[in-house]
């Protein structure tokens, strides 16, 4: 078996892309999108027609509503390919707006349901700020499942699990990027700080019997992926899926509930004050969360500009 086939023995493989053709090639269970991936996709001739259609069919609606319909259009296309779930992201400008995030989550689910897609097949992606986690807590009680994104620290992970969210997406590659830049060191294998962060979260969840799923995300190389074999899910770019499929190097299970129980970590109670202090003490987590929100906001603005240009035609 190649590495991708071996990985599937231990972990649910998810495609991290807005490119339908890539998704078909690797037959993942689920698929995730974000503003950056959607912007990248609609600039290709293959997918630009989805943007044109969203504008053409909704000229009387606001730009915000057109973007919602575009995101759902991509999600519906993806769900025609994958047997599981698609993750659709809320506007990053709502990252510190609990009520706004709740409203946006409801709006997106309503659009999916109007298109004949059950809410069980959709994960609403929300930034793992305190306000975002509070929004997810409300949405989960309504049967709207959430994927907490831009997650870099244990404090965020614990707050998400306490809120009863469906799934979290710790960003392996961006953690690696921060430590590489700040120390000047290269990290490989089990020494990678991004890998260590996900292992710590996974072990904490399994040791204390949290039901929230852990989906490692934002990978820079296949070593980061294989070091997390056994994680509940891993969302992987088409480029790295291809590399995994081209290698037959052995992949061993690295994470499991059995080994998690031996982790010496103690349970931590995280209220708002503790959350904010723990995150503040984590320079990497604080910086990467802020940077991630800014980058997703910038890509949403790019999408708005594309829509504005199409409206003028």
- Of 104, 125, 199, 207, which residue is the catalytic one? 125
211 has catalytic annotation:
no
199-203: list long-range contacts, CB under 8 Å, 24+ apart. 199/228, 199/254, 199/255, 200/154, 200/265, 201/154, 201/157, 201/168, 201/170, 202/231, 202/232, 202/255, 202/260, 203/255, 203/259, 203/260, 203/263, 203/265
Q: Are 66 and 300 in contact (CB under 8 A)?
A: no
**Per-residue CA distances from 136 to 41, 70, 132, 169 (Å):** 27, 22, 6, 14
Query: Facing residues of 16 across strands?
Result: 32
Among all chains, which residue has been given the structure tokens 């921060």?
178
Angle between helical axes of 172-183 and 193-207 (0-180°, round to 10): 130
Query: Catalytic residue numbers?
Result: 125
């Amino acid at each position: 078996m190649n590495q991708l086939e071996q990985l599937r023995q231990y972990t649910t493989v998810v495609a991290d892309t807005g490119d339908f053709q890539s998704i078909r090639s690797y037959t993942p269970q689920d698929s995730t999108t974000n503003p950056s991936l959607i912007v990248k996709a609609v600039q290709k001739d293959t997918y630009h027609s989805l943007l044109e259609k969203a504008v053409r069919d909704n000229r009387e609606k606001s730009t915000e509503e057109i973007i919602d319909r575009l995101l759902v259009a991509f999600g519906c296309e993806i769900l025609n390919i994958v047997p599981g779930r698609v993750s659709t992201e809320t506007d990053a400008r709502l990252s510190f707006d609990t009520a706004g995030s709740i409203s946006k989550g409801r709006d997106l689910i309503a659009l999916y349901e109007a298109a004949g897609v059950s809410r069980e097949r959709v994960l609403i992606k929300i930034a793992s700020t305190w306000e975002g986690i509070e929004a997810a807590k409300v949405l989960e009680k309504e049967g709207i499942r959430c994927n907490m994104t831009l997650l870099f620290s244990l404090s965020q992970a614990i707050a998400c699990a306490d809120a009863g969210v469906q799934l979290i997406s710790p960003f392996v590659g961006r953690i690696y990027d921060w430590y590489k830049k700040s120390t000047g060191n290269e990290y490989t294998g089990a020494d990678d700080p991004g890998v260590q962060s996900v292992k710590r979260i996974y072990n904490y969840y399994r040791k204390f019997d949290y039901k929230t799923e852990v989906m490692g995300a934002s990978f820079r190389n296949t070593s980061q992926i294989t070091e997390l074999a056994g994680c509940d899910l891993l969302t992987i770019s088409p480029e790295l899926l291809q590399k995994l499929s081209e290698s037959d190097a052995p992949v061993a299970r690295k994470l499991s509930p059995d080994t998690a129980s031996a982790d010496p970590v103690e349970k931590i109670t995280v209220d708002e004050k503790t959350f904010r202090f723990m995150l503040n003490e984590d320079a990497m987590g604080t910086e990467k969360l802020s940077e991630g929100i800014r980058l997703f906001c910038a890509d949403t603005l790019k999408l708005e500009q594309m829509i504005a240009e199409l409206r003028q035609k």
